[in-house]
């Protein structure tokens, strides 16, 4: 690998398309055989309330990004694409990231385009006005290495124009080989951590987010992590399809656990007193990987369960756009034939999790609303985060 890791930072106002463009570029790099990682900066700053010394959580996000890039590099990733906000009013919009070469590309759009996008989302007028004010500040800045106007362009057209503007980024990046497992990172930050897991389509993200909101409503400084968003990377010729990359031996769960440990350290230092995590787990050994990365925390694993019919219904709905968009969602936009196969696989996965008895608690979600599932989780966990249970050996 080169001495410095190339990092492309795609910035711009909310709604300009940063995440969609970043994910499309990452996909193109992966398809070209580049060992590339991707991280959405929004996923590295979900910690509330924000510190008065770090408005906008830009410092927190930069700290977490530096840690994630370092962990990706250790796993053999040669370059990283990231997307998120930058504040040009700060003295140093991009905080120095160790061992990285940062290229900043700013996306913009005409005012009427941004307004139409936000009105279409049902945003309140005062929020739209704030976004437009922020966009004007960015348009008046000159901190970025390049700028691409996204007005009336598709995502693919934006990426094509952006790649022209940034030249041959990431340059002649070698395909790094990994000799053995990635180094382990351990967090010594204490605190209750609730991990919501389960099969594809069971509702982990929705329920996890509502549990996070529950903690906030109770007045507990809280943070949230989606494990999938800490593990978007490709190493080797065939990529990562399961727990271990077949070419390099990279343990996907270990890389995510390293990133989770780093992010929890930052969140705890930023004032968080509890953490909600949602994400997949395939067997008890994977849970041990995360538990070993968080030895000082009180980790509680709650597994959501749904039957085959319910999983099929939810996966079809998600594939047809019936949930929020997230970078790297493998279901959104897929034909029904593919979604039904995913649902069949999810049903088998749910059965395997049942047989293995993964988790400290099991909550059936069939026929229940999100709020009912949340209340069931709280009943099982002793009104988490006020009470939580220790990791049990049966994991």
| Share above pLDDT 90 across residues of the chain, in percent, rounded to a whole number | 61
Residues 204 and 162 in one domain: no
Query: Among residues 98, 106, 82, 75, which one has the least CA distance to residue 26?
Result: 82
pLDDT of residue 94: 62
Residues 113 and 14 in one domain: yes
- 13 belongs to a structural domain: yes
Residue 245 — pLDDT band, cuts 50, 70, 90? Answer: very low
- 176 belongs to a structural domain: no
Residue 130 to residues 19, 34, 168, 318, Cα–Cα distance (Å): 20, 38, 35, 30
- Which phi and psi angles does 203 have, rounded to 5°? 110, 25
Host H or E run for residue 353: helix 336-356
- 267 belongs to a structural domain: yes
At 36-55, the pLDDT tens digits run: 999 999 999 999 999 888 88
DSSP 392: P
Residue ending a domain, choose from 103, 131, 166: 166
Residues 235 and 341 in one domain: yes
Residue 136 to residues 143, 153, 205, 237, Cα–Cα distance (Å): 14, 20, 34, 43
Measure the CA–CA gap between 8 and 101, rounded to whole angstroms. 8
Host H or E run for residue 108: strand 100-108
| Share above pLDDT 70 across residues of the chain, in percent, rounded to a whole number | 86
At 272-295, the pLDDT tens digits run: 999 999 998 888 889 999 999 999
Residues 21 and 94 in one domain: yes
Query: Among residues 40, 49, 20, which one has the least CA distance to residue 150?
Result: 20
Residues 267 and 375 in one domain: yes
Q: What tokens were used for 227?
A: 């494990």
Torsion sign across C-alpha atoms 381, 384, 387, 393: positive
Region 180-208: what's the mean pLDDT? 89
Residue 123 — pLDDT band, cuts 50, 70, 90? Answer: low
3-state helix, strand, coil in the chain (%, to 5): 40, 15, 40
Residue 323 — pLDDT band, cuts 50, 70, 90? Answer: low
- 182 belongs to a structural domain: no
At 357-394, the pLDDT tens digits run: 999 999 999 999 999 999 999 999 988 997 553 444 33
Of the given ranges (168-172, 272-276, 340-344), which has the lowest mean pLDDT?
168-172
Domain that holds residue 11: 5-166
pLDDT of residue 120: 72
- Give the residue with greater pLDDT, 390 vs 221: 221
Mean pLDDT score across all residues of the chain: 86
Q: How far is CA 252 from the centre of its chain?
A: 14
Strand order in the sheet with 191-198: 47-48, 222-226, 274-278, 191-198, 297-305, 361-364
Pairing of strands 47-48, 222-226: antiparallel
DSSP 257: H
pLDDT of residue 189: 97
pLDDT of residue 387: 53
Residues 36 and 117 in one domain: yes
- Give the residue with greater pLDDT, 339 vs 119: 339
Residue 161 to residues 18, 148, 155, 157, Cα–Cα distance (Å): 14, 7, 10, 6
Residues 19 and 158 in one domain: yes
Residues 258 and 150 in one domain: no
CB 210 within 8 A of CB 370: yes
- 181 belongs to a structural domain: no
Region 63-75: what's the mean pLDDT? 92
- 175 belongs to a structural domain: no
Residue 95 has pLDDT above 80, yes or no: no
Residues 144 and 276 in one domain: no
Region 83-94: what's the mean pLDDT? 69
- 151 belongs to a structural domain: yes
Residues 152 and 207 in one domain: no
- 173 belongs to a structural domain: no
Overall domain count for the chain: 2
Residues 316 and 354 in one domain: yes
Residue 370's CATH number: 3.40.50.300
Residues 198 and 138 in one domain: no
pLDDT of residue 168: 87
């Amino acid at each position: 690998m080169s001495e410095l890791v190339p990092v492309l930072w795609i910035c711009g106002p909310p709604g300009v398309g940063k995440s969609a463009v970043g994910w499309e570029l990452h996909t193109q790099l992966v398809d070209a055989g580049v060992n590339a990682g991707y991280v959405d900066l929004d996923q590295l700053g979900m910690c509330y309330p924000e510190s008065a010394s770090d408005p906008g959580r830009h410092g927190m996000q930069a700290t977490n990004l530096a840690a994630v890039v370092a962990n990706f590099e250790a796993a053999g990733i040669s370059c990283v694409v990231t997307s998120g906000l930058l504040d040009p009013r700060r003295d140093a919009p991009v905080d120095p990231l160790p061992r990285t070469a940062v290229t900043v590309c700013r996306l913009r759009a005409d005012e009427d385009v941004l307004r139409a996008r936000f009105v279409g989302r049902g945003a309140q007028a005062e929020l739209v006005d704030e976004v437009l004010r922020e966009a004007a500040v960015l348009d008046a800045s000159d901190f970025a290495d390049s700028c691409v106007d996204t007005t009336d362009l598709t995502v693919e057209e934006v990426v094509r124009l952006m790649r022209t503007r940034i030249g041959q980024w990431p340059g002649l990046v070698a395909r790094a080989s990994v000799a053995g497992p990635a180094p382990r990172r351990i967090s010594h930050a204490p605190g209750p951590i609730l991990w919501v897991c389960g099969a594809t389509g069971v509702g982990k993200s929705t329920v996890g987010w509502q549990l996070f909101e529950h903690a906030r409503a109770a007045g507990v400084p809280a943070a949230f992590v989606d494990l999938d968003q800490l593990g978007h990377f490709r190493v080797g010729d065939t990529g990562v399809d399961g727990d271990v990359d077949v070419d390099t031996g990279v343990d996907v769960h270990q890389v995510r656990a390293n990133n989770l440990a780093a992010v929890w350290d930052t969140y705890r230092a930023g004032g968080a007193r509890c953490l909600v995590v949602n994400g997949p787990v395939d067997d008890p050994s994977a849970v041990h990987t995360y538990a070993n990365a968080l030895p000082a925390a009180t980790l509680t694993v709650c597994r959501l369960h749904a039957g085959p019919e319910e999983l099929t219904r939810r996966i079809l709905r998600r594939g047809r756009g019936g949930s929020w968009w997230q970078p790297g969602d493998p279901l959104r936009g897929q034909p029904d034939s593919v979604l039904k196969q995913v649902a069949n696989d999810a049903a088998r996965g749910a059965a395997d999790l049942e047989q293995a008895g993964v988790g400290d608690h099991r909550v059936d979600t069939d026929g229940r609303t999100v709020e009912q599932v949340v209340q069931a989780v709280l009943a099982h966990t002793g009104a988490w985060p006020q009470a939580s249970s220790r990791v049990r050996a049966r994991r």
